[in-house]
Amino acid sequence: MLDSVMDLVCFQSPNRVLGSSCCSTLLFLVSLQWHLASSALLLSLKHHHSHFHRQRPMIQTNGSTCALFVGTWVRDDTYPLYQSSNCPIIDPEFNCQMYGRPDSDYLKYRWRPLNCELPRFNGVDFLLNMKGKTIMFVGDSLGRNQWQSLICMISVAAPGTQTQLVRGEPLSTFRFLDYGVSISFYRAPYLVDLDVVQGKRILRLEEVAENGEVWKNADILMFNSGHWWSHEGSLQGWDYVELGGKYYPDMDRLAAFERGLKTWANWIDSNIDRNRVKVFFLAISPTHYNPTEWSAGGTSTTTTKNCYGETAPVAGTTYSTGAYSEQMRVVDMVLREMQNPAYLLDITMLSGLRKDGHPSIYSGDLNPEQRANPDHGADCSHWCLPGLPDTWNQLFYTALFF
């Protein structure tokens, strides 16, 4: 792998001829730089995390303070807000009812914050308030999950509205033409730039320029990132990481996440007019691959090894965020250090309670062999639509207008 790194460094200066001894020295230096960079960033993380404390956005209701993101899930038979059959934009991987999910109780839960009730989502009200504006979701497939949810929630409330969908890569846009409202999704799993050079994918931890030009046109920006930073093996999204002009085959993932997110935050502070544009960040969306995280006493009461077969939320108000707690701390720290912090839509805990909300094997992305083996084939990362992302958007709606 380090030989490839040396080759990558050499293509920057193609006229330079290196002898074998020089190449060996380069290999040693690249390896040393990799470990030093990871160590330095980890020290930075430890310093910041020792001062970590989570600040939850509050709203005032009836003279009391309401913590939007602390509460319980309650049964409500007036939900869901729409049916999957009435919203053709839903991708197969999120369309659980179409792909055979036999239960429907997971659709009947409403989030109730402590000390208040959330305003019920009103699609026409959303369009009127957003008339002539552009909302853009930026991030990975969980951002796409939320993007499609919002379109469905609005569409069911304004069925006669003329619409237009333009799908592309990395940008897709759905327009409510009668209101001049555009709702876009821009795929950028790392937020920072990912380039291909001579067939190699380069994750540039200090650059946002290529992605950012499109973001400047939006009036509302909702960002998310997190899951792709921990992918390994065939799921790893890069061949090399670039930091400080150096190339590394890999580095500490949490350190890389922090550096990339700081680059994004600095770019937002320098390039987005916050008098005109509202910026949000969706907190880390939890997965449910380990039943011991939600089973009493640390033992599973299910016969499977993941979310398959789960049909009800976790009881109570708290949930162990497990593997994502460190990423959550990075997000909190980086947002807090911004000149004008993005609004954190802090959905991690409330989503953690929804072990029942994933596609599991009821996803159009799974083949028959995967469906027959839920212990290994179930999708416990994304969310069914209708489903949990509708609550994310209800909280988004509340934060925007109340």
Just list the catalytic residues: 141, 379, 382
- How would you list the strands of the sheet with 220-223, edge to edge? 163-166, 171-176, 181-187, 134-139, 220-223, 278-282, 343-345
The 8-class DSSP code of residue 76 comes to -
Beta strands 194-197 and 200-204, pairing class: antiparallel
Rg (CA), the chain: 22
- How would you list the strands of the sheet with 246-248, edge to edge? 194-197, 200-204, 240-243, 246-248
CA quadruple 351, 127, 211, 272: dihedral sign: negative
d(C-alpha 78, C-alpha 357), whole Å: 17
CA quadruple 69, 70, 72, 74: dihedral sign: negative
d(C-alpha 265, C-alpha 142), whole Å: 20
Dihedral pair phi/psi, residue 222, rounded to 5°: -120, 110
Dihedral pair phi/psi, residue 171, rounded to 5°: -110, 130
Under DSSP, is residue 337 helix (H, G, I), strand (E, B) or coil?
helix
Give the chain's end-to-end CA distance (angstroms, integer). 53
Closest CA to 5 of 34, 40, 36: 34
The DSSP result for 348-402, as a single string, is HHHHHT-TT-S-BT--TT--HHHHT-HHHH-B-SS--SSSHHHHHHHHHHHHHH-
Task: Yes or no: say if 285 and 347 are a contact pair by the CB < 8 Å rule.
Answer: yes
For residues 177, 183, 186, 192, the Cα torsion angle rounded to the nearest 10 degrees is 130
- Residues near 257 by beta carbon (within 8 Å), at least 6 away in sequence: 225, 226, 229, 327, 330
